[in-house]
A and B are shown apart, each in its own frame.
Chain A
Amino acid sequence: MVTPDADGFDTLAIHAGARPDPVTGARITPIYRTASFVFEDSDTAAQTFRQARPGYVYSRVANPTVAVLEERVAAMHGGVAAIATASGQAAVHLAIATLMGQGGHIVASSALYGGTVNLLSYTLPRFGINTTFVDPRDHEGLAGAITPDTRLVIGETIANPVMTVMDIPAVAAIAQEAGVPLLVDNTFASPVLCRPIDLGADLVYESATKFLSGNGSVMGGVLIDGGTFDWEASDKFPELTEPYVGFHGMTFTDEYGPAAFAARARTEGLRDFGGIMSPDTAFSLIQGCETLAVRMPRHVDNAQAIAGFLADHDQVDWVAYPGLADHPDHELAETLLPGGAGAVLAFGINGGRPAGKAFIEAVEVFSHLANIGDLRSLVIHPASTTHQRLTAEQLQAAGIGEELIRLSVGLEDPKDLIADLDQALRSAAQGSAAQGSVAPGPAVPETG
């Protein structure tokens, strides 16, 4: 029986995109901290400028350090290409701006990160791009919301903050039937736990700030082109299928075939919008990728242990973690996320907002901040922070209550994490009983 020569995920996460430095022999990818690159001669310059020859021109469009990260992330996701951006928000904006302009329409899951909801609800309509939000479990509703102007369906693998798992194959089939691509935010899963392209998604983005980094030290995003969507078969994407006056009349599907989307996004999007990642950031993220496959199982193990602990705790009203049997998406998670349902979970504390505030102020190992995916364990109260700009209706649609507390479970000893949560829950019970009610805390910018 002949078997394919194929490198495993762990090998690609360490090696893809990187070679020893051709000049110095340095084994670790150097930080190419340079704005520009010297051309060999005028012909080479002209050819590189018009993409007749691969190479580097200016770091706003491409940089060798960043390129290693991009190629690595593409390989980890099974995509044909990837683009690193300044943040996850820059990645989703780049995807949208590449595929549509004024008059464009998006169908989005109603269970989305608050920052993305802001972008879709308030910012993009100013530019003539409107969004219809639909419960990701309502597949008939998703299909029904697609109009002739729809250019994209957007959802999240695991949705912040109540851990809704999207049935990617089912939603992908709906999008495919309608002739539009599916874009998935895979931040909560990382490519270790889920590769959306394998499940039918066409485009993927992640906030690289989270698990890819692993230590909360940098901001970044990645946008991956699966190369699966047949742009030519649709008449909806002239940006890819017709000559682009803005770049030598290039027709991206003609030139780049399966990588047409990524080519246009880089050629136009990075050049014009400039939402690039710095080589220093890329260097940090490359180190993060190299340990991701080792870190994620430990994240999952710790999260599973804590979810079980919380589910049995008398100060906890409910726990939302797809790894628990009572989560509405548990069976789906077991199918789509066989390596585990991630390391972010939510729970409702008895005593509502006052108890939540007391709890957060009592934790000692967990850090109260707006982020996820750190090797340190993190805690936040979304209704007053990450989702504070959402209306009551949007909060309800996203399933966020005032009692909801979100945990991002890190890599500490699980015994210490459980002990910290236990003492904070008991402290909250005592505090809320004594105080009665507490005013909402100060607002912080939406993030995480």
Chain B
Amino acid sequence: MKLEVDGRSVFGHTGGVEWPEGAREAVMLIHGAGNDHSVWRYQTRLLAGMGVAVVAVDLPGHGRSVGPALTSVGAMGAWVGSLLDVLDVDRVTVVGHSMGSLIALAAAAAGPERIGRVGLIGTAPRMAVHPALLEAARERDSLAVNLIVGWSHNAASRFGGHRQAGMWTSAQTRRLLERNLDVLGIDLSACAAFDAEPVAADLDVEALVISGQRDKMTPVKGGTAVAKMLGARHVVVPGGSHVSLYDHPEAVNDALVEWAKGQRVDG
């Protein structure tokens, strides 16, 4: 669906169903740096099929949302608040991947009355960005894409073996980054500048943290630290990478669904 936030067009994918008119509760999915809503293909469709009002948004300047891109995680968190105003919902679970996890925290800090739960996938208190990657991204150099693809898919997912036939997810990550190369440097700069610890310290939200066992971008220890700050459940996806949400979607979805049901999930 198309929305207008702060005077600019925003795209949100609702899982192949119409946004339920009058919905008071919802789940919002926020992508990471240089990505768009399509990284959530398995979660969006699953949740929508379960009757959940779900929207995977394109951040400003990403995918089909009009720019300019926002330059800080704090600004992105505030933008989520504006988006919630437009959606006119009362209670929201915000699930974010990588940079999106930081945005989820920032949004919850800015609007705790509406955001009662956050799901953080591939997260860490500080997302230090390798200087070479940051420089390449700012220069719109394809090296940035190559570095992220390699670090995102290395370890268990490097040779694929996806459960959805024929999908070579390394190249899918590459194409998404290429499509959003103009904003990748902005995103990574925002990530590098954000410190989740003081934000998390003041938060009182129910949280779930999901880490990929072999994530090289945000290793498990980062997820452990964030989970500790929030008193959150921490699920480690066996063999998972930084992009477990579409490399190991079943494990991620099982964790999300179990969490949604309020059942304990041991990491």
Contacts and interface: CB of A to CB of B under 8 A. Distances in A.
Interface of A: 1-2, 4-7, 12, 15-19, 46-47, 50-56, 61-64, 66-68, 70-71, 74-75, 78-84, 227-228, 230, 232, 248-251, 254-259, 262, 266
Nearest to B38: A257
A47 B150 CA distance: 31
Which 10 A-B pairs rank lowest in CB-CB distance, beginning with the nearest? Answer: A257-B38, A5-B150, A62-B165, A54-B164, A70-B166, A258-B175, A74-B168, A67-B165, A4-B146, A54-B163
A259 B172 contact: yes
Contact of A80 (B130, B158, B172): B172
Given A256-B38, A259-B172, A19 B45 contact: no
B42 A54 contact: yes
A257 B171 contact: no
B133 to A, nearest CB: 7
Interface residues of B, number: 46
24 contacts: A5-B150, A5-B151, A6-B149, A6-B150, A16-B159, A16-B168, A18-B159, A51-B164, A52-B45, A52-B48, A53-B249, A54-B42, A56-B163, A62-B164, A68-B161, A75-B170, A81-B167, A248-B16, A250-B16, A254-B13, A254-B16, A255-B44, A257-B176, A258-B172
A281 B232 CA distance: 49
Interface in B108-147: 130, 132-133, 143, 146-147
Nearest to A44: B250
Contacts of B39: 257
A5 B168 CA distance: 16
Contacts of A232: 64
Contacts of B216: 5
B172 to A, nearest CB: 5
A52 B165 contact: no
Contacts of A75: 160, 168, 170-171
Q: Taking each of B36, B49, B154, which has the highest tally of chain A beta carbons within 10 Å of its own beta carbon?
A: B49
Contacts of B149: 4, 6
A249 B161 contact: no
Given A46-B49, A75-B168, A79-B171, A19 B150 contact: no
A232 B166 CA distance: 22
Contacts of A80: 167-168, 171-172, 175
